[in-house]
Amino acid sequence: MRLPSIRAACVLWCLVALLLLTYIATLRVNRDLGIETNILRLLPGPENFPGLEQAFDAYTQATLRDLVLLVGNSSLQAAKQDASGLASRLSANQRVERVRLRVSPEEQFALGEYGFTHRHHLLSAQDRRLLEAGEYQRFADDALSQIFSPLSGGLVRLLPDDPFLLSYRFARQAGQNDFDQVDLDDGYLVSEFEGASYVLLTVQLAASPFDSEVQEALLADIQAQESRWAEEGTGSELLRTGALFYAADAYREARWEISTFGGASLLLVISLIVLVFRRLTQLLLVVTAIGFGIASGFSAVRLLFGEVHLLTLVFGASLIGVAVDYAFHYLTAGEEESASSRLRGVFSAISLGLVSSAIGYSALLTTPFPGLQQMALFCITGLVGAYLTVIALFPVVRVGGSLSQPLLRLCSAYLRLGASSVAIPLWRAALILPLPAVLFTLLIEDANDDIRQFQPRSVVLESQEAKIQAVLDAPAANQFYLVRGDSAQGLIEALERTEVALDAQRQAGVIRDYVSLTGWLPSIARQQDNYRLYRALYDSSAARAFVDAGVLSEAEFARARQTLAGDDGAYARPASWQESAVGESYAHLWLGEIDGRFYAIVPLRGIVELARLDDIGEDAIFVDQIATINDLLGSYRYTASLLLLVATALIFLLLAMRLGLRRSAIVVSSPLIAVSTTIVLLGLMGQSMNLFSVLAMFLVIGIGMDYGIFFAERGRPSPYTQLAILLSALTTGFSFGMLAMSSTLAIHSFGIAMLIGIVTVLLLSPVIARMLTAREKGI
């Protein structure tokens, strides 16, 4: 085989290395590495509701930057005071866009202004029922009670234009926030729960909650304020929830694991390499091959996708396990004197190994799953990078020294196990393992497709979130209705139709309540009906109460009726609503125009029977984010499993062209047995399968194939090849064995599956070597 010019290849490699270093360094300096930690970015959007993906994204992005904080104390005054202190501190933080603690008099005025302007067209459901029942006196009584209260304040000034105080009445009933158990108390949003008073504070971040610098800055401020409360003995407690807290928790856990597990495995790997080669040159070469591979993978993904997900990096780091195969195979290639001879000896093996691994990963590229596509691209380009390092850089470096003879003897002894009388019968018996593995997969439905496995669980945060939900009676965060319309008015009408169905659900006890925009922005048709009801109120005998009580003169009341008449047709419309203070407070529910249609969200409160919630007509779909994502994870686990079989079959066909059917079958048997063993053992250990278990099996297939290919190309059971395999297996085992100790289920599953798979292929390597190099009749 003609090899490329070593010197020219090395120069080219150096140029590419320089480009990669420059690219990554530039990204780093500009703080633009683009590492994404948002789980949702791994997933494609739903397919059956055009525009849903953008709507999903808009709503998710709007809420991701929000933090909800509750300051609780047995004294309401103390809770207010401490909440004010916290708000002041957070307002000064540059990472914060806005802090909302008190509804200022100006804000209250602005909120009231919208209600006043449209007072003859806005009507709460409660008042609608009263007016339709003719309960006009109640309106007069309530208004008069308010007017003569010692705290009537400026309400009396509404009398000439709004004698029934309809604007104030509506604002009070419709509510000025999303939460049902929250009252407005001196501008503070407060809730009473189990004997304590809670003051609500909401924070909107100026940057992504997944940015570690944002997390550090916010957490430091919150921690400092809590410490102050403790020092002063105020007795306040802080409840918190928001994407930032969960992301920070996950990041802290991941960083700890990377520094401890990663550090430990790195130390073990370095020690092993130094022990075997007894020179730093080989260590540096291995590290260079791995580093170049990871840099290649990272850069390819960053360029093509514009970002690199953290889980892609985690999975991509597993490149170590495959990339080291090429390096070790070259470095243990025996006592050949020249670099070109050494390279010639391993070139076909590592090339075939690269192609087979690339075929395996390329199957993942065909999925519409951005996460899998990223991982596949990372691994393929990373392996190519490691491969190019071995063939372009390694040959120009004098590796010198000699291999550890005791280890070579150990490898020879290990290889001889393959010649024992039980080796091949055991191998034949192991060929049955795919059957129970298939049975386990089909019969035992113990797959864990919960997206929450992608993050370590925080019991503290989960309990605080549950308490906040209870205190505020907040709408469900992950289940809601997405409603659409062909126009803004069409959307409002669709929302009203949806509400009819949701009212029925509420009556049936399926949900306790829901939040809707149409209370503040009814359709034109409903506004016309509201206006009709108000006319009836003004025409009723109850209206005389204002004159009889001496509150208004006959002339003043007549002018009020004229104002009502003049308001006929002066409807509230979406554009003015959006520009109002009310519209701003509901902005997260009105998604606006997306792809020519209009969308809005209807949050639900107190979901009692989730299974009974479904789409309403054609324009309102029920969204259960967690369930939807979990379903997707499940389907992609299934897809990846099928692709695993397809990839194995394709690799078998490729190898058959080179090695023949018999030998390629022997090569493929090792990783197949390893994967089957993994499935069976996981099942027996009670560990559930998940997407990352399946992804680990792609690596096991790739690594197992490499081991077989190396022996097949060698032509004999070489202790040097066995040493390379032993080194590869041990380094991979150290790396993934550590991952198996992770508290994040996805990473743990990945690690344990890799560990079982690698140990199995290592155990099979002597018999595989024996069969690949023996004559046909012996097998």
Partner 1 sequence: MKMLERCFVVFTLLHASYAVADCEPETIGAQIAASDALYRFEQLKTVEYLSNPLRSSGLIWLAPGGELVWQVQAPVRSTTVISGDRITEFNRRDERQPGIDIALAHEISGLFLKLLAGDFAALEDSFDQSLDCSENRWQLRLTPVQSDMAALFDYLLLAGAESIERIEYGERRGDLTEIDMRRIADPAALTADLDGFLNAPDNAPP
Q: Which residues bind partner 1 (CB under 8 A)?
A: 76-77, 80, 103, 105, 108-109, 141-142, 144-157, 159-160, 171-173, 176, 183-187, 548-553, 555-556
Cα–Cα distance measured from residue 564 to residue 429, given in angstroms and rounded to the nearest whole number: 91
Find the shortest distance in angstroms from Cβ 109 to partner 1.
8
DSSP 155-176: GGGGTTT-TT-HHHHHHHHH-S
Find the shortest distance in angstroms from Cβ 447 to partner 1.
47
Question: Closer to partner 1 at the Cβ: 113 or 529?
Answer: 113
Cα–Cα distance measured from residue 664 to residue 658, given in angstroms and rounded to the nearest whole number: 8
Q: What is the CA radius of gyration of the chain?
A: 34
**CA 425-428-432 angle, 5° bins:** 135
Upper half-sphere CA count for residue 711 (Cβ side, 13 Å) = 32
**CA 333-338-342 angle, 5° bins:** 25
Find the shortest distance in angstroms from Cβ 78 to partner 1.
10
Cα–Cα distance measured from residue 513 to residue 507, given in angstroms and rounded to the nearest whole number: 9
Cα–Cα distance measured from residue 485 to residue 51, given in angstroms and rounded to the nearest whole number: 11
SS3 184: strand
C-alpha of 390 from chain center: 36
Question: Closer to partner 1 at the Cβ: 82 or 493?
Answer: 82
Burial of 24: CB neighbours in 10 Å, binned 0-12, 13-18, 19+ = middle
Question: Closer to partner 1 at the Cβ: 580 or 676?
Answer: 580
Find the shortest distance in angstroms from Cβ 297 to partner 1.
58
Cα–Cα distance measured from residue 679 to residue 644, given in angstroms and rounded to the nearest whole number: 13
Find the shortest distance in angstroms from Cβ 177 to partner 1.
11
Phi then psi for 209, rounded to 5 degrees?
-70, -10
Find the shortest distance in angstroms from Cβ 379 to partner 1.
59
Question: Closer to partner 1 at the Cβ: 152 or 367?
Answer: 152
Task: Report CA-CA distances (Å) from 273 to 161, 287, 389.
Answer: 88, 10, 18
Find the shortest distance in angstroms from Cβ 506 to partner 1.
19
Question: Closer to partner 1 at the Cβ: 73 or 498?
Answer: 73
Question: Closer to partner 1 at the Cβ: 47 or 548?
Answer: 548
Question: Closer to partner 1 at the Cβ: 150 or 686?
Answer: 150
Q: Comparing C-alpha atoms, which of 325, 321, 303, 311 is closest to residue 375?
A: 311
Find the shortest distance in angstroms from Cβ 199 to partner 1.
11
Phi then psi for 579, rounded to 5 degrees?
-80, -10
Cα–Cα distance measured from residue 40 to residue 252, given in angstroms and rounded to the nearest whole number: 19
Question: Closer to partner 1 at the Cβ: 115 or 603?
Answer: 115
How do the residues of the chain divide into helix, strand and coil, expressed in percent and rounded to 5? 65, 10, 25
Question: Closer to partner 1 at the Cβ: 1 or 151?
Answer: 151
Cα–Cα distance measured from residue 741 to residue 171, given in angstroms and rounded to the nearest whole number: 55
Find the shortest distance in angstroms from Cβ 314 to partner 1.
50
Question: Closer to partner 1 at the Cβ: 109 or 256?
Answer: 109
Find the shortest distance in angstroms from Cβ 189 to partner 1.
10
